[in-house]
């Protein structure tokens, strides 16, 4: 499985907005996009051209892929599932992405970024309904219980993450007990539960061509 290994702050600068990919650094003056609010590269400070409708649609798709850390093949698979599921395609697509196990670990504050949460899952430190799951793309369901199951030494780092992310609000579709490092899925996520502005209709229009 491929993974992005370049500087993630370049993705925010390319997008032109904070995607909060670097955890707590994104909240400080050290955030690169706060100091260099222009695209990376030799011509980053050049004159910006107005994007076409296609350009806007593509940019929004890239934004969502970067936020959740998925590549094109997997993202297209999610869209295919969403288009065949009863309901509004765009909203179902975002719901699938929010239900990813690595995103749930991040939302609970167990990881300071989604990439770190993904690593926690891959290192077999997370259990769903008392069964260890090391697949970041695993989709949680209503009433699932997600918890950290690892040695005490490894839990020290998780506790540090909880302290660093204590100001981040856990979304209402999740119930979380920091002391037990355990949470429960109360309901499926809605569009309003996503803290970043996303125009999912642009993505639907892009794939519908």
Phi, then psi, of 146 in degrees rounded to 5 = -110, 130
Domain boundaries, given as residue ranges, for the chain: 1-49, 100-188
Give the global pTM: 0.82
Mean pLDDT over each residue of the chain, to the nearest integer? 85
Architecture of the CATH domain 1-49: Orthogonal Bundle (1.10)
Number of H helices, E strands in the chain: 9, 5
23-82 pLDDT, tens digit per residue, is: 655 556 666 566 566 556 544 565 566 779 998 999 899 989 988 999 999 999 999 999
Q: Are strands 182-185 and 145-148 parallel, antiparallel or unpaired?
A: antiparallel
Architecture of the CATH domain 100-188: Roll (3.10)
Residue 203, both tokens: 């993505």
111-157 pLDDT, tens digit per residue, is: 988 999 999 999 999 999 999 999 999 999 999 999 999 888 888 98
Element (H, E) at 127: strand 126-128
């Amino acid at each position: 499985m491929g993974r992005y290994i370049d500087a993630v702050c370049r993705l925010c600068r390319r997008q032109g907005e904070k995607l909060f990919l670097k955890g707590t650094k994104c909240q400080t003056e050290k955030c690169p996009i706060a100091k260099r609010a222009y695209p990376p590269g030799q011509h980053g400070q050049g004159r910006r051209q107005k994007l076409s409708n296609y350009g806007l649609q593509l940019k929004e798709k890239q934004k969502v892929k970067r936020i959740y850390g998925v590549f094109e093949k997997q993202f297209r698979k999610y869209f295919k599932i969403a288009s065949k599921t009863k309901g509004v395609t765009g909203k179902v697509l975002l719901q699938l992405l929010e239900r990813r196990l690595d995103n749930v670990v991040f939302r609970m504050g167990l990881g300071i970024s989604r990439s770190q949460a993904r690593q926690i899952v891959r290192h077999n430190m997370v259990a769903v309904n008392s069964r260890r799951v090391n697949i970041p793309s695993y989709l949680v369901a209503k009433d699932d219980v997600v918890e950290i199951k690892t040695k005490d030494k490894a839990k020290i780092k998780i506790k540090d993450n909880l302290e660093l992310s204590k100001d981040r609000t856990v979304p209402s579709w999740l119930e979380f007990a920091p002391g037990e490092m355990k949470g429960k899925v109360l309901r499926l996520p809605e569009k309003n539960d996503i803290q970043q502005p996303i125009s999912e209709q642009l993505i639907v229009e892009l794939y519908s061509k």
